Amino acid sequence: MRTQMDTIMRMSSDADLSPESLLAAYAGGAFPMADVDTGVVEYYTCDPRCVIPLDAFRLPHTSQRAIRGSLFRMRADTAFEPVMRGCMLPRPGQERTWISESMVAAYCKLHELGFAHSVEAWLEDKLVGGLYGVSIGGAFFGESMFVLRNAGAGNASKACLHWLVTHLKSKQFTLLDSQYSNPLVLSFGGVEIPAAQYEAQLAAATDLDVAF
């Protein structure tokens, strides 16, 4: 999801990835990324911030038809680490990843504590797409998603995002954070808002007594 690096600002270096520090960072509007060369993890924020308003989420018509007629079995939280490692796979024009092994370990701990979640698309017994993120109160912070296109599952990640939005709405979530925009996120209804507006939405969302 991360492409517009010009909007991103470094908050701190040599990030502490303990569960307490990760949750405090998200609640304060920051998120971690690893340097693709050194693997050093730092916290960042961005202005403007990209969010996907839950009531404005949309899928292209071709994807809607494919998802309605798909054979995917959708699950949540049954393969968290495999989903995260799927998000580490090389992509066209991107041979290295901002997800480090230390981040995998840290997010797996958050998952065990009930704060990090995965949504998964399965084709028969094969994981063909997924996404993961962090939830605090009524806020969900989307981190990354992946799809195994060579498995004949080109819409799997979109199916996961559609499932996620439907689930968040049913659970009374109010914020789906995408951090910063790219053409794909904007095509789903993502919008850029000033940091101050995001911080107000974030505070209200994390104060809600709801759960994933």
User: What are the pLDDT tens digits along the chain (212 aa)?
Assistant: 344 444 556 655 567 999 999 999 999 999 999 998 888 999 999 999 999 999 999 987 767 766 776 778 999 999 999 999 999 987 766 667 899 999 999 999 999 999 999 999 999 899 999 999 999 999 999 999 999 977 667 889 999 999 999 999 999 999 999 998 889 899 999 999 999 999 999 999 999 999 99
What is the C-alpha separation between 119 and 129, in angstroms, rounded?
9
Map residue 68 onto helix, strand or coil. helix
What local confidence, expressed as pLDDT, does residue 14 receive?
A: 67
What is the C-alpha separation between 119 and 128, in angstroms, rounded?
11
Q: Can you tell me which residue has the tokens 């939830």?
A: 135
What local confidence, expressed as pLDDT, does residue 65 receive?
A: 66
* Percentages (nearest 5) of helix, strand, coil residues in the chain: 35, 30, 35
What local confidence, expressed as pLDDT, does residue 67 receive?
A: 72
Nearest Cα to Cα of residue 33 among 91, 83, 98? 98
* pTM assigned to the model: 0.91
What local confidence, expressed as pLDDT, does residue 95 receive?
A: 64
Q: Can you tell me which residue has the tokens 């969010």?
A: 51
Whole-number CA gyration radius for the chain: 16
Map residue 100 onto helix, strand or coil. coil
Task: Confirm if 29 and 45 have CB atoms less than 8 A apart.
Answer: yes
What local confidence, expressed as pLDDT, does residue 196 receive?
A: 97
**CB atoms closer than 10 angstroms to residue 190:** 21
What is the C-alpha separation between 85 and 76, in angstroms, rounded?
16
What local confidence, expressed as pLDDT, does residue 92 receive?
A: 64
What local confidence, expressed as pLDDT, does residue 6 receive?
A: 45
Task: Confirm if 125 and 62 have CB atoms less than 8 A apart.
Answer: no
Query: What are the structural domains of the chain?
Result: 47-206 (3.40.630.70)
What local confidence, expressed as pLDDT, does residue 180 receive?
A: 85
Cα angle at 52 between 154 and 109, to 5 degrees?
75
What local confidence, expressed as pLDDT, does residue 68 receive?
A: 72
Give the strand order in the sheet containing 8-12.
Answer: 8-12, 41-46, 31-34
Sequence-distant (6+) residues with CB within 8 A of 94 are none
